[in-house]
Structure 1
Amino acid sequence: MDHAFEDALEPTCIGMRDRAARWRGTSDWPEESLTLCGEAGLFAGLSLSNASPERFRRPFGSRVWSPSQQVECLVRLAESDLLTTFVITQHLGAIKHLLRSDAIRNATTDSRTDAEPVLMDLLAGNRFGSVGISHLTTSRRHLGHPAVTAMRVSGGFQLSGTVPWVTGAAHIDQVVIGAVVAADQTELLALLSPNTLGVTSGPGTEMIAMSASCTDAVELADVFVPDSHILSGPRADVLSGGGQPQAKSGGTGGIQTSALALGLSQASLNYLREQSQQRANLVAIVNQFDREHQSLHEQLMAAADGESTVDVATIRSTANRLVQRTTSAAMTAAKGAGLKVDHPVARWCQQSFFFLVWSCPQPVAEAHLCDMAGLA
């Protein structure tokens, strides 16, 4: 790993680790840690590739990280502070959809889109973004009608409905929203400021873990979005990116999520290793977890670089199992102290449940249920 990468990452990880215990409830938005990451240039490093337009790379030295470096960065950040790293993934999601948008791809030197200065601010960490698109893929699809609809009006679209899940709903500066056009059932992506007239953002949902991500619903009451803020579409399956290649490190249930699970698992393994220095009975356990962790790490890096023979769903299942087992082992080693709300092991155990529900593909969920029932 090169020195520039380490110089950007290591001090940021230390700062995040020092603050991680503070992010507990919906009143604890991790702005300090997000600012650290922006100042270190991590958002640009995690988002840009050699395929990104040079005008976006130039302000950041025209240097980009490899896919495996991007995944390694997420593992290290999650090891330090899973909560903030999850928020970062949503910020990266907004950047990804902007980079791949029709508006950005079709822009010319003489005709720049309103989305470009927003994108630059998100890359630099001057503004924070999020996404509200899950209702186009999984959330609330069972209801039989769109969660968010768009109606063509003069100069743009009028959006109405409920975006069920937006991380940082009450704190972000920009959100990429998905909507279904009522007239023909095509889809679009829109760039929206939560301060827009008709937008009501929830303060955050209190959960057993990750509450400080301030994830909540956003209500849209006849919100006007000008054509200049329509990023992509309307067209069928707008999330497909119009034929643009999907980023290897992202995607629902993909490598990105597995990277975060591996990072949390590493935090628990670090605790077990520390305890094994005084407790010989833990040495063999730590060694076994080490072997599994290293094997999964190698699979993850190979997958990031497109060289893995293991499919992404299998990697995700393995990561899910490992994070559940290592956090549980850490709790067992911590004994009663681990049940205290201010103990890091308590936080890690609560956070591990997140991977059972967050962007968890049905085959991965079913594999976990079979494991729990002894049917695997």
Structure 2
Amino acid sequence: MTALLEVDGLVKHFVARRSVFGRPTAYVKAVDGVSFAVEAGKTLALVGESGCGKSTVSRLVLRLIEPDAGHVRFEGRDLGTLNAGRLRAFRRDAQLIFQDPYASLNPRMTVAQILTEPLALHDLVPSTRRRERVEELLRLVGLEPRFARRYPHEFSGGQRQRIAIARALAVEPKLIICDEPVSALDVSIRSQILNLLRDLQDRLKLAYIFVSHDLAVVKHIADRVAVMNLGTIVETADAEALFAAPRHPYSRALLSAIPLPKPRARRSRIVLEGELPSALDPPAGCRFHTRCPFVIARCRGEMPQLLADSSGHATACHRTAELPPSESIVPSDGGFSPALEKLVAAFGGVADGARRSGVDQVGTAPPA
């Protein structure tokens, strides 16, 4: 299948210091050679520690910031070659859901004005039908049409995030970048929003780039996962394969930290030692070698390449074939924190419940 979005060798370095003459003297290497692809109707999750470059990648994909090198292709078009008019047209096909629903909505605009603005900007709906379209969007995300007259401060966090989702859907996009869309919400609200995102994906054939550091959420929403460390991708695979048997030492450490719903369950817990390197001066060779328990001399001097096997599971590690198996790190029945597991059961499961039911399941419950 042809990919909807292709990212090839993306690089972005930010100037951190300048000399007295204004010349750059230090750079933060936020993104350093990132490549991946996203298929229509699928979800790619970008995961990693805070500061690894996940959000920067999402903004580079939308050309909200310009890359220093690399290419982003959407439906075969190189976004770097688009003029202002064509870039605006592309923005209709690709939208962004921000992390904080309290900051991403204009407090001086009503919900109707927030949802009407993109319709008017792209001239999608005649002015006589915009009110009707706003009501359709609110129903689509499980809110009542009467909420259109209210302001953002009159809603809870979950309701605001539903409004942000409705705004992204207003222009009928093909790709939505979800930049940690549930991290600012209560656990009870997260399951509803995740259900909603999966429902909408099934109904509208949307592609998602899901940026998150919450691996319990990623496990149940992503089709494919890319693990980032200090601006580079160190492992990428189908979600099921990655959680069943992570190969890179960094991925193993991340997955071993997921809370288990069973207090007496036992598993291998990997505790990383050493100091986290700075993106201002990343170490030579493998950028994870300063904290890796399996480091060898080659790791300190040679950057490993991201190489894939026949199944598409790619790892950037010199010792992938030598490391012991990792099945005991992430049990097949684990992955959620105890509180989230109870709520998922109550709502019918984040993934399975979403696929069984339509948006009406979310819409019939009291809005979050």
* Larger proportion of helix: 1
How does the TM-score come out when normalised to structure 1? 0.28
Structure with the bigger percentage of strand: 2
TM-score (norm 2): 0.28
